[in-house]
Structure 1
């Protein structure tokens, strides 16, 4: 597309300029971070040594509040909680009125999963310093740990007028997450939008917005938001990507492809966009284009099992089963327990008439994921096609247990019984199916055929009438399954009267 090429040219020049700025800033930041870390470590390394010697020799010593705080953080980061507890004990004996150390103690309780004890201490401290930012933040976090989300929100909101502007974004994100935990997605959306207003580059907020719109079935609202957002921030790759996924979920695959191509134009190394584009092409049955799009990922990163599987599935749709098998094998080589790849190989071998291989791989797929109803269904089909009727009946029966709403399974199970045993067993199966799915037209059409095979015209006509009443448009199913039905005058008369 012309607009993609034009955008690429512009972005190339823009990104070259930006790269130098970013690299410079990163270098400065790294130098600052290293300096801060080394400076702190140099300042307190002697404190760490003294503390270790105290423990080793069981001797007393003195540490000021700043030293105690550093030691608590140092050992907390190393998850050496017994030492943290010892330092807190020393700190309380030396500085019994230090609010800072009491907050560290509350944080310690939270980290060792004793939130109620932490909260009890924080309640006391809040009476002394009700606007202490660290205290309010910790209390909000503890309430979140206790799943008291409304109280957590209350304390995060208390922080909003107190924190610096550069800390506001983090608090707003916390509030949004708490609303998500409450399943109040409408409020969560409002806070994520506030975050993006202040920082359009917050990718987490972008993805969480998509989640909220999807879970509330407001995908169209999601499209409107991202379209408006992109009017002001046209180079946001995460926004274009989420617009693409939203279009995809709405079944608007052409528009999804356009959005994913914008992502690739902005950042050609954004691999999820290639997957999204290929997936949309697959849904549009443009399988060769989907395969080519997947191959583009190989230039960016090493292929994984999923991409090999997706390529294989596309070849399978093209009925190029030999190529499909090769790529399924590549997927399995990278992931030996990839059940979908085993079932894909089973289907491909079955289409090539290689029955033993089909059965082997279908069995392997089912062993890896025996509760997958689709796998059991495919396994049953392959077993039946190869004359293993008892095993096919068992597989079909598992489908009914795992996914009882699958209407077609009763038809396949009934036909398997008819081929393996007799019509009576097939009829019995379909009547059980009608108990689960009353008045399902295809069951009645199939029963019509079975009763005609028995020359039971009365029951055949009864089910034919019910079938026509449920769905007259499916009458062709009867004729295709049992062409001999046109030899029965009663059936022909019922068909001719459809719509009269």
Structure 2
């Protein structure tokens, strides 16, 4: 009785794993070892693959393919010198083996010698039976070099050799996007669609290009063709929904998002978009219902937490807004957008210490917008933390030198701290930058602003 190829593979695996359990040494031919090793590598069972290579080479020490598997494992372990030595020995025996050049290229790539990797792969290309795979590897090396033009050309060659290689198609569009060649991307996709008119992936990509160009009518048509080509294509319904939102056709957008929920497990993103649509058509109850579904479905989706927080903030229900942003922060306390909302809400509630804490955390997490520095400073002034406010403004000045808003605040703070010399220095500096911003001093430091000496200097600059 003859076994099918799959049955033979399964038999070899079962036999090998049985041998490991019993510590018996069984014989396998080199092809069986290749199947076993490939299976383990494909399934991420690295330790078992390594064990199979070791046993395989003990039984077949001169088997080239087993040695190449060993090389692959050594490269993975960053043992590049040892891998290179094996490849040099194999090259003397089999100079026309393309896999040797591919693995040599892999080593060059790991050493960041990407041009040398490309040279190796071009040698492999001359002897390879699978040109598409080599072009894909060459393209990736060009990507490492940020040479997107040549990467794109090699991915195009992959697609010419296999017109259903959607990974290559996606990478081609990625290169067009990086090169900001959206019109060229559309021309290329249309040329591809002339030969493959029912490619839902290509129609989907055309739609995305038109969407980025804000040509929503053409984008909508493209997504419709993607759906005609495959009426279960969730991505096309999702993108169509986004286009319909832009066209303010919110009820139709909701319909398309609901189709995605029927085709597969519900996603927080779909719930979020439905909630946004309901909010736009003033159905507050359903908007809140879908925002709640979104945060429950995926508590890590920050846009959902921000949407439900903003929903309550716009309704002036600051306590509920604070409740939801606190829940969001409890899940991800490194999210700068959460802390900015936290600060803004607490400010509205007149919880100034908490608001200041929020802006401080936002700055610590890298949100260096001028408004964040300024608002934190104003809160510190309100709290009487004048020296800390000065430090904050000097930090802000490192990012935003010669800004009148900063200088006027520094002037007011130094006068408040009875450091008049510094106060006059920053006042004159601020007035020379933009005298109109003197209103900052009037609002934050009214007593200082009404000093005769200060008013005289301000009027002098404003009348210039």
- Is TM (by shorter chain) over 0.5? yes
CA distance in 2, matches of 1:424, 1:82: 65
Distance 1:87 1:258 in 2: 56
1:83–1:240 CA distance, 2 compared to 1 (3 A): closer
**2:166 paired residue number:** 203
After superposition, give the CA deviation of every residue in 1:123-172 in whole Å (9 maximum; x if it has no partner): 112122211234334444454455543333223222323233xx222221
* 1:260 aligned residue: 223
Q: Residues of 2 paired with 1:148 and 1:277: CA distance?
A: 43
Map of 1:88 onto structure 2: 57
Verify the 8 A CA contact 1:69 1:104 in the aligned structure 2: no
The answer for the alignment partner of 1:356 in structure 2 is 319
Over 3 Å counting, the alpha-carbon distance change for 1:310 and 1:62 in structure 2 is closer
Pick aligned residue for 2:96 from 131, 150, 156: 131
Note the 1:140-179 alignment, pairs <5 A.
Answer: 140-144=105-109, 147-164=112-129, 167-179=130-142
Q: CA deviation at 1:51?
A: 9.7
- How far, CA to CA, are the matches of 2:278 and 2:458 in structure 1? 43
Question: Per-residue CA shift, 1:29-80, capped at 9, x if unaligned?
Answer: xxxxx932235667x699x58994997456xx876xxx13313432553442
Which residue matches 2:70? 108
Which segments of 5 or more consecutive residues in structure 2 lack a partner in the other structure?
414-422, 445-454
Contact 1:278-1:293 at 8 Å conserved across structures: yes
Give the TM-score normalised by the residue count of structure 1. 0.71
Which residue number corresponds to residue 183 of structure 1? 146
> 1:219 and 1:371, CA in 2 relative to 1: closer, same or farther beyond 3 A?
farther
Please, which of 381, 391, 409 is the counterpart of residue 372 of structure 2?
A: 409
CA deviation after TM superposition for structure 1 residue 389, in Å: 0.7
Aligned match of 1:70? 32
Q: Where does residue 7 of structure 2 map in the other structure?
A: 38
Shift of 1:273: 1.8
Q: Residue 422 of structure 1: CA displacement?
A: 10
1:221 aligns with 2:181: no
After alignment, is 425-434 or 70-79 more displaced? 425-434
CA contact (8 A) 1:175 1:188 kept: yes
Specify the alignment match of 1:308 in structure 2. Answer: 271
Residues of 2 paired with 1:39 and 1:84: CA distance?
Answer: 19
Secondary structure, aligned partner of 1:268:
coil
TM-score by length of 2: 0.76
* More contact order relative to length (CA 8 Å, sep ≥ 6): 1
Q: 1:390 maps to what in 2?
A: 353
The answer as to whether partners of 2:124 and 2:134 remain within 8 angstroms in 1 is yes
CA distance in structure 2 between the partners assigned to 1:173 and 1:53 by the alignment: 37
How far apart are 1:259 and its partner, in Å? Answer: 2.6
- Rounded to whole Å, the distance in 1 between the matches of 2:407 and 2:244 is 38
The CA distance in 1 between the partners of 2:193 and 2:250, in whole Å, is 30
Do the aligned partners of residues 369 and 154 (structure 1) sit closer, same or farther apart at CA in structure 2, a change above 3 Å counting? same
- Closer, same or farther: CA 318–367 of 1 in aligned 2, 3 Å: farther
> Cα offset for 1:381?
1.0
Give the conservation status (yes or no) of the 8 Å contact 1:244–1:257. Answer: yes
Partner of 2:420: none
- 1:160 aligned counterpart, secondary structure: helix
Q: Give the unaligned 5+ runs of structure 1.
A: 1-33, 93-97, 451-455, 483-487
Aligned residues between the structures: 434
How far apart in 1 are the matches of 2:95 and 2:57?
23
1:399 aligns with 2:362: yes
Contact 1:149 1:179 in 2 (8 A): yes
Cα offset for 1:376? 1.3
CA spacing shift, 1:50–1:232, aligned 2, 3 Å: closer
Q: Is the 8 A contact 2:268 2:295 kept in 1?
A: yes
Alignment of 1:331-342 (within 5 A): 331-342=294-305
